[in-house]
Structure formats: C-alpha cells, structure tokens
Amino acid sequence: MQRNNSEKRGYKKKERDLIYGVRAVIEAIKAEREINKIMIQKGMDKELFMELKEELKGKDFQLQFVPREKLDGLTDNNHQGVVAQVSPIKYHDIKELVEDLLEDGRKPFILVLDRITDVRNFGAIARTAECEGVDAILLPSKGSVQVNADAVKTSAGALNRIKVCRTDNLKDSLFYIQQCGLRLVVCTEKSKVPLYETNLRGAVAIIMGSEKDGVTQDLINMADISCCIPMKGEIASLNVGVAAGMAMYEKLRQELY
C-alpha cells in the first residue's frame, strides 16, 4: 500500500507540468504558453489531428510521436492523443537580452550549455550560475534539457531569478553575440590551456558541453578561446555541473581580484 501511495504522489507531481486534450493544447498555443514539447499519439484520430495540425502550422514546437501507452502513463485523464509539457518559467530571446545589457552599460556574462540533458545537473548549474553572477543561460531548443518542475526544485528556485534563453540555431546565436563583442570561451578537455591562465574578464559567453561528447566541434572552431580544467586523477572526467561551477567561479574570481 505504501508503494502505491508513493507512486500516486509522484504521478500527481508529473501532471503539474502537463496540458492534455486537443482543445486545451490548442488554447495553450494560442495563448503563447511556454511549451517544452508536444507529445502526439501515433495514429490518433484523424479529425482531431487535423485540427491540431492546423494550429501548429508555421510554429516550431518540439513534437514527439509516441504510443498511446506513453500518454496513458502520464495522465489518467482523457488526453485525446495529445499531451503538452509546459515550462514553469518564461524563456527569453538571447539577442534582445544581450542588446539590453549592452545598452545598460553592462558586460554580459552568458553561460551556454551545449546538449546538456540531465535535469538535475541543469538545476544545479542554474543554482551556481545565479550565485556567480551569470546574466543568462543559453540552451539549444532541441537535443537539450527541458525546464520542468524538477529542474526548478533542484535549482533551489534560482530558475525563477536567472534568465533562460532557448535558440533554434545555437551557432547563429553565438555568432550574433560574438559580433556584439562577447568573447566565446569553450571549456573542453581538448584544450591544453588551463582555466586559470585564461582571461575571463569582461563580456564573455562560457560554453560547456555534454558529459558524453563534450562541446560540439563546430562550436570549438568558432570560439575565441579554448581552455581546460587541469586534472590529476586517473578518471580525468568531471561531472558537467562541477566543471561549470569551476568555470563560473574562476570568472568571478578574476573580476573581483
């Protein structure tokens, strides 16, 4: 019995991030709600699907076509073959944000997360970012973590305070902010330059990569500076949350001292 109660509590927790039913999802789209992704049942009712498809026309939402069992596992309500995962935060436009910071005479500090997918890692990174004075976190729209209630909780509420930006084309966004005067700093094990010997003062965007593959080679190629975190142990591999924390601390240390 205890196990069932526990599962029930977790189940309800999931539903807080969800909108289900064709009409409810359509209204959420019209209201411009922040939607992480829309899950559509494979082979859903054709008439309902056409209504939803019409509303999605010209919009760039992340869509997933899934078996009915997947949706049934998310909610026991009548989902009609469509469930949308909504974001608990408002996303910002990176170009507008950087322009506003520069107009205010600030030197933007942007943290870029290339294909980070673990929600708890992301929440922990966001918490550190808020503490270390990061102005915004930039994420690719696809192939990256989605901000949900678990991420907000892990961040200790920092995601309600720090700005998060999503972009459909990470390279284009980075090129734009580079043209605005921000130096792109990649933290990668492929570099031989230690983090502590890297000039992080001023307007910068620090790029951290996934634990599996690191930073995409295209981003390394376009960066102004590449650096690494020196390691002495046998494993020679850091959790990305820990690595990001080190990079952000070093940036703040250089600015203060």
Q: Which residues of 188-223 are buried (b: 16+ CB within 10 A; e: fewer)?
A: beebeeebeebebeebbbbbbbbbeebbbeebbeeb
What pLDDT score was predicted for residue 150? 87
User: Domains in the chain, please, with CATH?
Assistant: 2-86 (3.30.1330.30), 91-256 (3.40.1280.10)
Q: Which of 158-162, 171-175, 232-236 has the lowest mean pLDDT?
A: 232-236
What residue type is assigned to position 136 of the chain?
Answer: A
pLDDT, tens only, 36-74: 889 999 988 778 788 888 888 888 888 889 999 999 998
pLDDT, tens only, 104-129: 999 999 999 999 999 999 999 999 99
Token duo for residue 255: 């600015």
In this structure, what are the phi and psi dihedrals at residue 12, rounded to the nearest 5 degrees? -65, -35
pLDDT at 12 over 50: no
pLDDT at 166 over 70: yes
Extract the runs of DSSP E, i.e. beta strands, from 24-171.
35-41, 63-66, 82-86, 91-92, 109-114, 136-140, 163-167
Place of tokens 């026991």: 76
Rg (CA), the chain: 20
Q: How far is CA 28 from the centre of its chain?
A: 21
What residue type is assigned to position 234 of the chain?
Answer: E
Residue pair 22/47 in contact (Cβ under 8 Å)? The answer is: no
- This prediction has a pTM of 0.83
The pairing of beta strand 63-66 with beta strand 183-187: unpaired
Residue pair 196/246 in contact (Cβ under 8 Å)? The answer is: no
pLDDT at 6 over 70: no
pLDDT at 189 over 60: yes
User: Could you give the maximum distance between any two Cα atoms of the chain, in Å?
Assistant: 64
